[in-house]
A and B are shown apart, each in its own frame.
Chain A
Amino acid sequence: AQTVTQSQPEMSVQEAETVTLSCTYDTSESDYYLFWYKQPPSRQMILVIRQEAYKQQNATENRFSVNFQKAAKSFSLKISDSQLGDAAMYFCAYRSGPYQGAQKLVFGQGTRLTINP
């Protein structure tokens, strides 16, 4: 079974600075998808970024980017120019692929990110 580990329960960063959240996973599969979700105090889980394992290029979405190291099974999230609205719980998630059917997400424990003004 796949597992996802987020070793940082809490992180804090000054507004406008850069922060990196860590995620490692364990799998014997070669094809899969990785996601970062954000859960603000409103509890709405929002997709931040997605990475396909077969792609060597790291995904980027505006101020959010990942460092995907397939051999090391590492998938970190970098947030640049941190904003107060980035404060939330961040979850790393794994999905087996490329199956076409419904597939569960396996989540890490989450990292609570605080932005200091």
Chain B
Amino acid sequence: ETGVTQTPRHLVMGMTNKKSLKCEQHLGHNAMYWYKQSAKKPLELMFVYSLEERVENNSVPSRFSPECPNSSHLFLHLHTLQPEDSALYLCASSQTGTGIPYEQYFGPGTRLTVT
């Protein structure tokens, strides 16, 4: 256990569905991240939130919509996805500030399949 939880662990959705992924961190961190892990590709950063504000959007299609209501929770809202969006979605958190080790702690991921 790394202190970062994700729900659901598995999700199958049709291209016309709307669903949300949830991430919660219990580490007192103030930055949260969404990564996409596809087969045979490096992990790709999708979004970064620092102190509840989005600080990076890595050219992600608008069918992915992040939400960070507070420093402990991060959501990824999904709608009208494509089959190529099937992947493992990983959430991570870290602390920011002077003298901080900076490493990111990851959740177990949500395996998403788009049919």
Contact = CB atoms under 8 A, between A and B. Distances in A.
Contact of B102 (A37, A42, A44, A95): A95
Contacts of B50: 101-102
Contacts, number: 63
A103 interface: yes
Interface of B: 2, 31, 33, 40-43, 45, 48-50, 55-56, 58, 88, 90, 92, 94, 96-98, 100-109, 111
A106 B88 CA distance: 17
21 contacts: A4-B42, A33-B102, A37-B106, A42-B108, A44-B106, A44-B107, A44-B108, A45-B90, A46-B2, A46-B106, A47-B104, A47-B105, A91-B43, A100-B97, A100-B98, A101-B96, A102-B31, A102-B33, A102-B48, A102-B50, A105-B45
A contact face: mostly helix, strand, loop, or mixed: loop
